[in-house]
Amino acid sequence: MTITIVGGGASGFMAAITAAETFPAAQITILEKSRTVLNKVRISGGGRCNVTHRPNELRHFIKNYPRGEKLLRRLLPHFDADATVEWFEKRGVKLKTEADGRMFPVSDSSHTIIECLIKAARNLGIEIRTSVNVGSFQKNDHVFTLEITNGEPISTDRLLIATGGYPRAESFDWLEEHRHAIVSPLPSLFTFNTPDNYLLPLAGVAVKDALVKIMGTKHEWQGPLLITHWGFSGPAVLKLSAWGARDLAENDYHFTCRINWLPEMKEQEVRDFLLAEKTNTAKQQIASHARLGLPARLWKAFTEKAEIPDTLRWGDASHKVLNRMTELLMNSQFEVKGKTTFKEEFVTCGGIALSDIDPETLESRSVPGLFFSGEVIDVDGITGGFNFQNAWTTGYIVGKNIGL
Residue type, 350: G
> Is 343 within 8 Å of 354 (Cβ atoms)?
no
List the one residue out of 316, 372, 393, 391 whose CA is nearest residue 183: 372
Q: Side chain identity at 270, as an amino acid letter?
A: V
Nearest Cα to 249, choosing from 221, 290, 271, 219? 219
The H or E element spanning position 135 is strand 134-140
DSSP 290: -
Query: Residue 347 in contact with residue 187, Cβ under 8 Å?
Result: yes
pLDDT per position as a tens digit, 276-309: 999 999 999 999 999 999 999 999 999 999 999 9
Query: Do residues 61 and 76 lie in contact, with contact meaning Cβ atoms separated by under 8 Å?
Result: yes
* Maximum alpha-carbon separation in the chain: 88
Q: For residues 76 and 244, give the distance between their C-alpha atoms in angstroms, rounded to a whole number.
A: 24
How confident is the model over 110-136, as pLDDT tens digits? Answer: 999 999 999 999 999 999 999 999 999
Using CA atoms, how far apart are residues 142 and 139, in angstroms rounded to an integer? 6
What pLDDT, on the 0 to 100 scale, is given for residue 79? 98
**How many CB atoms within 10 Å of residue 209?**
15
Rounded to 10 degrees, what is the CA torsion of 229, 234, 238, 239? -160
Decide if 376 contacts 163 (C-beta within 8 A).
yes
- Which among 170, 177, 165 is positioned nearest to 139, based on CA atoms? 177
Residue 343 pLDDT: 57
**Cα 136–chain centre separation:** 28
Give, for all 404 residues of the chain, the pLDDT tens digit: 999 999 999 999 999 999 999 999 999 999 999 999 999 999 998 899 999 999 999 999 999 999 999 999 999 999 999 999 999 999 999 999 999 999 999 999 999 999 999 999 999 999 999 999 999 999 998 999 999 998 999 999 999 999 998 878 888 999 998 989 999 999 999 999 999 999 999 999 999 999 999 999 999 999 999 999 999 999 999 999 999 999 999 999 999 999 999 999 999 999 999 999 999 999 999 999 999 999 999 999 999 999 999 999 999 999 999 999 999 999 999 999 999 986 555 688 999 999 999 999 999 999 999 999 999 999 999 999 999 999 999 999 999 999 99
Q: What is the pLDDT of residue 168?
A: 83
Helices (H), ranges, 191-310? 235-243, 245-250, 267-280, 296-305
